Amino acid sequence: MTPHTADLPATATQLPQLTHSRNPGMALDLDWVASVQANTSAIERRAASIGSRRSIKKDWQAAWLCKAVSLIDLTTLAGDDTPGRVQRLCAKARAPVRAEMLAALGVQGLTVGAVCVYHDMVETAVRALEGSHIPVAAVSTGFPAGLSPWHLRVQEIRESVAAGAREIDIVISRRHVLTGNWQALYDEMAEMRAACGEAHVKAILATGELGTLRNVARASLVCMMAGADFIKTSTGKEPVNATLPVTLTMIRAIRDYLDRTGTSVGYKPAGGISKAKDALLYLALMKDELGHDWLRPDLMRFGASSLLGDIERQLEHHLTGAYSAANRHAMG
C-alpha cells in the first residue's frame, strides 16, 4: 500500500543527533530473561510479509531513501585503510548525495548518521569531521571476534573515547550466550558501558553466531539491562549478518524493554544491507513495530559501506528516469 502523509518521515534536517536520554540499565532480572521465547516460524512469516504489505513509490520512495541516508553509519573497516581513504569517506559523509540532486529533491542539510572506523583511524576521522554534527563511531573490544584479553578490550574503549569517538560499537562474548551464562554477559556489558563514559555504546550481538532466535532475544534483553544504548545485529564479518527475522526479534525485545522500563533503546542492523530496496524494508518494519519515533538517527542506524551508493543511484533514477553506473557514486 502507498503510505499516507502521516507515514512520511520528517526530513533529515529536522532530526536531532543522539538527543534522547541514555539507557541507565537495570539490575539483571534472570526470571525475565528465562521467560523470553521466540516463535521462529511466526517470526519468519511476519518478516516475509513485510515486502508485500508495504509498497513505497515515487516521491514517497525518494523521501524514505533520504531518510535512510540520514541513518547510515558510513563505514570502512578494512586492513588497508589509510588516512586518505578515511578523509574521503568523511567528505562523503558530509555530502552523501550530490548537491544538484538534493536541490531537485528539495532537501537541505542531509548528512549520514555517523562515520565508523577502527580505533587507529578515530583521530583522522574526528579532524576530518570538525565543524559538523557527525559523530565518529569506533569498533572496539577486539572487533570482530572479541577474544582479546579482557583488560585490553576495556582499555581500547577508553583510548577510542579519549581520541574523540562519541560512539563505541563493542562486541559481546558469544560463548556467554551459547552457554546461557547471562550473569557473565551482563557483567561484561556493564563494565564496557562504564568504560565508554559519555560515549554512546552499541552492543554487537553477532546474531549469525548465536544459534537461535531465542538466544538473540535473550542476549538483546541482557545487553539492554546492562545499559546498551543500541543493540546491533552483526560485525559484518560473520557468514550471516542482518536479516529481517533477526531484526523483528531484536526490535520486539526493544519494545518489551520500553514497556517494562520506559527507556528507549536504539537498533542497528549491519552487514549485507547493500540495496536501497532492502533499506526500505527495514524502515517499514521498524515503523510498523516501534513507531515513527524510531525513524531518526538517535534510535536507528544502518551499518553499511555500499548502501549509500545504491540509494544515490535510485534517487538519480527518480529524478531522471535513467540509472547511472555504480562507479559514478563512489564513497570517496
What is the distance between the alpha carbons of residues 29 and 182, in angstroms, rounded to a whole number?
10
153 with 141: CB under 8 angstroms?
A: yes
Show the cell assigned to 280: 526500505
Nearest residue to 203 via CA among 183, 233, 182, 178: 233
For strands 200-204 and 230-232, give the pairing.
Answer: parallel
Q: What angle do CA 135, 138, 141 make, to 5 degrees?
A: 150
By annotation, the residues acting in catalysis are 169, 232, 268
CB pairs under 8 A, 24+ apart, for 36-41?
36/214, 36/217, 36/218, 36/221, 36/253, 37/214, 37/217, 38/212, 38/213, 38/214, 38/216, 38/217, 38/249, 40/212, 40/213, 40/245
Per the listing, cell 556489558 goes with 189
Helix axes 213-225, 182-195, angle to 10 degrees: 50
HSE, side-chain direction, 13 A CA sphere, residue 274: 7
What is the distance between the alpha carbons of residues 273 and 202, in angstroms, rounded to a whole number?
18
Separation of CA 90 from chain center: 18
What is the distance between the alpha carbons of residues 28 and 10, in angstroms, rounded to a whole number?
37
How many beta carbons lie within 10 A of that of residue 29, not counting itself? 15
